[in-house]
Structure 1
Amino acid sequence: MLYTNAIIITVNDTRDIILDGAILVKDTRIEAIGKTTALRAQYADEPITDLSGKIVIPGLVSTHMHTAQTLLRGAADDHELVGWLCERVWVAQGNFTPEDGYAAARISIAEMLKSGTTTFLESMFANRYGFDGLAQAVEESGIRGCLGKIVMDVGQYAKDPAWAMHPGLVENREQSLLGVLDMHEKWDGKAEGRIKVWFGARTPGGVSDGLYKEMTALSREKSIPITMHCAEVKADREFCASLSPPLTPMTYCDSVGLLGPQTVLAHMVHLDDNDIAVLAKSGTHVAHCPTSNAKLASGIARVPELLKAGVNIGLGTDGAPCNNTNDLLQEMKMAGIVHKAVTYDPTVVSAEEVMEMATIKGAKALGLDKDIGSLEVGKKADFVAIETRSVRMTPFFSPVSAVVYTATGADVDTVVVNGKTVVEKGRLITMNEDAVVSEAAIHAKEVMERAGLTEKVKAKWPLI
Structure 2
Amino acid sequence: MLFTNATIITVNAKREIIQNGSILVRGNKIADIGKTQLLLEKYPDETTSDLTGRIIIPGLVNAHMHTAQTLLRGSADDLELVSWLCERIWPLQGNFTPEDGYAAARLSIAEMLKSGTTCFLESMFADRYGFDGLCRAVDEAGVRGCLGKIVMDVGTYASDPKWAMHPGLVENRETSLLGALNMHEKWNDKADGRIKVWFGARTPGGVSEGLYKEMTALSREKNIPITMHCAEAPADRTFFASKNHTPMSYCSSVNLLGPQTVLVHMVHLDETDIAKLAETGTHVVHCPSSNTKLASGICKVPELLTAGVNVTLGTDGAPCNNTCDMMSEMRLAGILHKVAKMDPTMVPAETVLELATVNGAKALGLADSIGSLDIGKKADFVVLDMRAVHLQPWFNPVSAVVYSATGRDVEHVVVDGKLVVENGKLLTMDEEAVWQEAERRSKEVVARAGLTNEVGPRWPVV
**TM class by smaller structure:** over 0.9
| Residue 338 (structure 1) aligns with | 336
| Cα deviation code 1:216-247 (max 9, x no counterpart) | 0000000000000000001111101001xx00
Aligned to 2:426: 428
Instruction: Summarize the alignment of residues 303-382 of structure 1 with structure 2, pairs less than 5 Å apart.
Output: 303-382=301-380
**Using the alignment, how far apart are the partners of 1:49 and 1:449 within structure 2?**
48
SS of residue matched to 1:33: strand
1:160 positional shift: 1.4
Other-structure match for 1:73: 73
Letter in 1 for 2:319: P
Alignment correspondent of 2:162: 162
Specify the alignment match of 1:59 in structure 2: 59
Task: Tell me which residue corresponds to 2:411.
Answer: 413
Following superposition, the deviation at residue 50 of structure 1 comes to 1.2
1:255-266 matches, within 5 Å, as 255-266=253-264
Which amino acid in structure 2 is aligned with residue 90 of structure 1? Answer: W
Q: Summarize deviations over 1:185-224 as a string: whole Å, max 9, x none.
A: 0000000000000000000000000000000000000000
1:161 partner SS: strand
SS in 1 for 2:435: helix
Query: Which residue pairs with 1:300 in the alignment?
Result: 298
> Deviation at 1:159?
2.4
Structure 1 position 457 matched with structure 2 position 455: yes
**Gaps (5+ residues) in structure 1?**
none
Identity %, equivalent residues = 71
**For residues 256-295 of structure 1, what are the structure 2 equivalents within 5 Å?**
256-295=254-293
Q: Which amino acid aligns with 1:13?
A: A
**Corresponding position of 1:395:** 393
SS of the equivalent of 2:30 reads strand
CA distance in 1, matches of 2:200, 2:287: 17
Cα offsets for 1:350-402 (capped at 9, x unmatched): 10000000000000000000000000000000000001001111111100000
1:40, CA displacement in angstroms? 0.7
Question: What letter matches 1:383 in structure 2?
Answer: F
- Flag as ranges the 4+ runs of structure 1 deviating above 6 A: none
Aligned to 1:101: 101
In the alignment, structure 2 segments of 5+ residues that lack a partner are none
1:136-151, aligned counterparts within 5 Å?
Answer: 136-151=136-151
1:139: how far off?
0.1
Q: Which amino acid aligns with 2:82?
A: V
Which region of structure 1 is more displaced relative to structure 2, 114-123 or 158-167?
158-167
1:24 is aligned to: 24
Alignment TM-score, normalising by the size of structure 2: 1.00
Does the alignment pair 1:184 with 2:204?
no
> 1:214-225 alignment to 2 at 5 Å?
214-225=214-225
> C-alpha displacement at 1:52, in angstroms?
1.2
Q: Deviations over 1:39-67 (max 9, x none)?
A: 01110111111111110000000000100
Q: Tell me which residue corresponds to 2:114.
A: 114
Aligned residues: 462
What is the aligned-residue RMSD (CA, Å)?
0.4
1:39 corresponding residue in structure 2: 39
TM-superposed CA distance for 1:112, in Å, is 0.1
Q: 2-side partners of 1:421 and 1:454: how far apart? A: 40
Which residue is 2:246 aligned to?
248
The one-character-per-residue Cα deviations of 1:397-418 (angstroms, maximum 9, x if unpaired) are: 1000000001101000000000
Structure 2 residue 176 is the aligned partner of structure 1 residue 196: no
Task: Please give the alpha-carbon distance, in whole angstroms, between the structure 2 residues aligned to 1:376 and 1:150.
Answer: 34
TM-score for the superposition, normalised by structure 1:
0.99
The whole-number CA distance in structure 1 between the counterparts of 2:404 and 2:103 is 31
Q: Which amino acid aligns with 1:204?
A: P
The C-alpha deviation readout for 1:139-165, integer Å capped at 9, x for no partner, is 000000000000000000012111000
Aligned match of 2:48? 48
